Amino acid sequence: MATNQMRREAAKRKLERQQERRVQQERRRKRVAAITSVAVVVVVVVGIVLFTTLSGGEDATPAADPAPTAVTPAEIPTEAVALPVRPEPLPNPTTCAFPADGSEAAKPVQPPAGTDVPSSGTVAVTLQTSAGAVPLTLDRALAPCTVDSFVSLTQQGYFDQTPCHRLTTDPGLQVLQCGDPTGTGQGGPGYTVPDEFFDGLTYGRGILAMANTGQPNSGGSQFFMVYGDGELPPQYTAFGSIDPAGLEVVDTIARAGHDGSLDPSPGGGAPVEPVVIETATIAG
């Protein structure tokens, strides 16, 4: 039979659990609020921008004491969104500039020539990851310069043996970020890729897009794959889609969760199950 002491202890434990849940809910609410308000917070450069390439400071490396349990998505949307379409076609062919950014490349690599770049057609790329194959379809009409750079990096083996360093799982923001050979969020190819986003651009399940530093024309090699919600301002170049089989692989990675090491800013953390792009290849 339960004694008064036992009942008091049980009630205390119940209260502690309720308080912990409230703390977690409040943290989640704050993260979602930060996500949805980013479009109007224009005075902050690196660190608040949602999909930045991390640029030093305490956010550049995982925290020493990660969350004790994996942070997993409560729900993942199952319907992929349609690939965006530019309101006006770009010249075909076009010219792209890939200037040096003053930093050392994370891997030895040469920028594309940037001349006679086609702005029509698609390119099939497969990321063979440690979790399975993730087929991608790159759309030259959507972002010819970004596709040109991504294809060049793929052909040079830049993405091979590269970790995916960041996963987010909150409602409104569900992505896997990859493309930095250093795995820190700071690495890039030593040159920049021009912005190719446009007004009205939206993101959602199945969209492939570029990270940037928050400054104009600051993309590099880091990209993110939206496997669920993508409530983002139109400040990230979308340049292709993730095939259904690839989305299933990313879903599995997401369900294993992240370690919370990048919370609260820029958010998320390293995947609990480490993910490595073993090879990236172009079909045909």
The answer to whether residue 128 is domain-embedded is yes
In the predicted model, what is the mean pLDDT of the chain?
A: 84
Given phi > 0 = left and psi -120 to 50 = alpha, else beta, which region is 114?
left
User: Within a domain: residue 271?
Assistant: yes
Residue 9 has pLDDT above 80, yes or no: no
Cα separation, 82 vs 199, whole angstroms: 16
Does residue 259 fall inside a structural domain? yes
Which helix (H) or strand (E) segment holds residue 239: the answer is: strand 238-242
Instruction: Look at residue 3 and tell me if it is in a domain.
Output: no
25 within some domain = no
Q: Evaluate whether residue 1 is within a structural domain.
A: no
Please say if the pLDDT value at position 201 is more than 60: yes
Does residue 125 contact residue 283 with C-beta atoms inside 8 Å? yes
Least Cα distance to 227 among 184, 166, 179 occurs for 166
Residue 22 lies in a domain: no
Q: Is residue 92 part of a domain?
A: yes
Statement: residue 59 has pLDDT above 80: no
> What range does the domain containing 116 cover?
37-282
Which one, of 44, 217, 250, 64, lies nearest residue 145 by Cα?
217
- Average pLDDT rounded to a whole number, residues 252-264: 97
pLDDT tens digits for range 124-170: 999 999 999 999 999 999 999 999 999 999 999 999 999 999 999 99
Do the beta carbons of residue 125 and residue 280 sit within 8 Å?
Answer: yes
The number of folded domains in the chain is: 1
Quote the CA–CA distance of 120 and 275 in Å, as a whole number: 32
* Each residue's pLDDT tens digit, 202-227: 999 999 999 999 999 999 999 999 99
pTM score? 0.80
Q: Please report, for the domain that includes residue 189, its CATH number.
A: 2.40.100.10
Mapped onto helix, strand or coil, the DSSP state of residue 94 is: strand
Average pLDDT over residues 107-115: 98
* Bond into 181 cis (ω within 30): no
